């Protein structure tokens, strides 16, 4: 369409030029006739008669439909119009009236009019004597004849057709190439995404294996956090960050020595201080990789508490990133409902009661209320589910969001 419009306007310019040349060629004998110039400024009746006849003859033989002659004092001497000029005369008069102020200039001027399918050209020529002084003015309306008009229309249609054919031909050649290239790009991008998710799972599993013999805790907390995130209205982007963060939340434990990480009994205060630094190490690990950077909200702040008593920074309330507040509920819910070497799983009711105790101290009360709407379903569907089911379910979530 853009190309078509450009060609159309270029062609209009050339049509203007063509019509102007035609009108100029036909008006030349009129404006160069010496006798007519002399008669123009003579007051005698026979002069006017001579000029009228000459103009009328010209109109009969040529394409001008209206011709007007003015003497040097800009007084109209002759006005001749062809009989069929009436159809356009009123319109032409209007335009001429509008242009009055531009009339009687010292230079030749043209004005193109398009009226009921025909091009008209209003021509204005100052008539000059041998010495260069103005002897009068010629004004005429030139009508482009039917065959020329047909030629112009054919030229326009031909040019536009050529543009359309060129564009379609180019598209036909380029389109298959783009499709093939795009296919490669989609495949590459899919491979890259798969590699990234693979790395995410490998990293998460690596630390889970060190901490315990199974990485199923990671699967469950990710499923719980996503369920809560979805119902809390997180965007797709937010949910992607939440999935990454949930999977990698304890990645920093890689930097904690075995005698603290795997200690069967209670940690001493000093050991606990070292244990706390896992959130800092986690930040250090994921923060360097662009694709994982958005998991920092969970990795760094998942041990913060709503009243500011958490670690490592002691943020409170809304100061704690939303994903970290969501994850904290999922993490504690899973810890309470799971079997650990030092405890049996709590019942659903005991779990809810403990979570409720943490309202206003550990957990965001609004998020906690949202979680309670789905917690029973989650407990029934996932808490005692087989590992393969959890793995399959999580794969579905990953497919949905990545």
SS3 breakdown of the chain: % helix, strand, coil, rounded to 5? Answer: 65, 10, 20
Nearer to Fe ion, 250 or 334 (CB): 250
Nearer to Fe ion, 250 or 283 (CB): 250
| Segment 203-208 long-range contacts (CB within 8 Å, at least 24 positions apart) | 203/247, 203/248, 203/251, 204/247, 204/248, 204/251, 206/254, 207/250, 207/251, 207/253, 207/254, 208/250
Nearer to Fe ion, 68 or 250 (CB): 250
Give backbone dihedrals phi and psi of 342, rounded to 5 degrees, phi first: -100, 0
From the CB of 190, what's the least distance to Fe ion, in Å?
A: 32
Nearer to Fe ion, 160 or 255 (CB): 255
Residue 224: CB partners within 8 Å, gap ≥ 6?
A: 329, 330, 333, 334, 378, 382
From the CB of 250, what's the least distance to Fe ion, in Å?
A: 4
Strand partners, 110: 123
Contact 364, 355 (CB under 8 A): no
Nearer to Fe ion, 16 or 271 (CB): 271
Task: Name the residues that contact Fe ion, by CB under 5 A.
Answer: 250
Nearer to Fe ion, 250 or 304 (CB): 250
Q: Which CA distances in Å does 298 have to 41, 252, 275, 279, 372?
A: 99, 12, 17, 9, 21
CA distance 325 to 378: 18
From the CB of 329, what's the least distance to Fe ion, in Å?
A: 14
Nearer to Fe ion, 19 or 292 (CB): 292
Q: Which residue is nearest to Fe ion (CB)?
A: 250
Q: What's the token pair of residue 50?
A: 């001579």
Residue 263: CB partners within 8 Å, gap ≥ 6?
A: 271
Nearer to Fe ion, 53 or 257 (CB): 257
From the CB of 232, what's the least distance to Fe ion, in Å?
A: 21
From the CB of 185, what's the least distance to Fe ion, in Å?
A: 39
Q: What angle do CA 244, 250, 255 make, to 5 degrees?
A: 125
From the CB of 191, what's the least distance to Fe ion, in Å?
A: 32
Contact 302, 283 (CB under 8 A): no
From the CB of 177, what's the least distance to Fe ion, in Å?
A: 51
Contact 22, 144 (CB under 8 A): yes
Tell me the torsion sign for CA atoms 333, 336, 339, 342.
positive
From the CB of 243, what's the least distance to Fe ion, in Å?
A: 17
């Amino acid at each position: 369409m853009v190309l078509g419009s450009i060609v159309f306007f270029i062609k209009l310019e050339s049509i203007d030029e063509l019509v102007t040349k035609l009108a100029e060629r036909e008006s030349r004998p009129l404006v160069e006739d010496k006798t007519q110039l002399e008669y123009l400024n003579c007051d005698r009746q026979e002069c006017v008669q001579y000029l009228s006849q000459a103009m009328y003859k010209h109109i009969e033989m040529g394409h001008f439909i209206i011709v007007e002659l003015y003497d040097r004092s800009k007084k109209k001497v002759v006005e001749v119009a062809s009989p069929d000029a009436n159809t356009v005369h009123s319109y032409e008069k209007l335009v001429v009236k509008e242009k009055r102020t531009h009339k009687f200039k010292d230079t030749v001027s043209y004005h193109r009019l398009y009226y009921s399918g025909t091009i008209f050209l209003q021509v204005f020529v100052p008539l000059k004597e041998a010495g260069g002084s103005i002897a009068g003015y010629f004004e005429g309306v030139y009508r482009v004849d039917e065959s020329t008009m047909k030629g112009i229309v054919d030229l326009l249609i031909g040019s536009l057709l050529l543009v359309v054919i060129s564009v379609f031909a180019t598209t036909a050649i380029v389109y298959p190439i783009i499709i093939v290239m795009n296919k490669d790009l989609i495949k590459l991008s899919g491979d890259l995404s798969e590699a990234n998710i693979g790395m995410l799972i490998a990293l998460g599993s690596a630390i889970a294996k060190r901490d315990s013999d199974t990485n199923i805790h990671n699967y469950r907390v990710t499923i719980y956090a996503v369920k809560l995130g979805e119902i809390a209205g997180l965007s797709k982007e937010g949910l992607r960050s939440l999935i990454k963060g949930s999977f990698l939340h304890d990645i920093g434990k890689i930097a904690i020595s075995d005698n603290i990480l795997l200690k069967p009994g209670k940690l001493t205060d000093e050991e606990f201080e070292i244990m706390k630094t896992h959130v800092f190490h986690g930040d250090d690990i994921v923060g360097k990789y662009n694709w994982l950077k958005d998991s920092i909200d969970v990795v760094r702040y998942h041990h913060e508490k709503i009243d500011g008593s958490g670690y490592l920074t002691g943020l409170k309330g809304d100061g704690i990133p939303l994903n970290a507040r969501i994850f904290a509920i999922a993490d504690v819910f899973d810890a309470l409902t799971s079997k650990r070497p030092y405890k049996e799983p709590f019942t659903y009711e005991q779990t809810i009661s403990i979570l409720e105790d943490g309202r206003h101290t550990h957990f965001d009360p609004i998020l906690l209320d949202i979680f309670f709407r789905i917690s029973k379903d989650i407990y029934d569907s996932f808490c005692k589910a087989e590992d393969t089911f959890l793995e399959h379910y999580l794969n579905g979530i990953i497919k949905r969001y990545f």
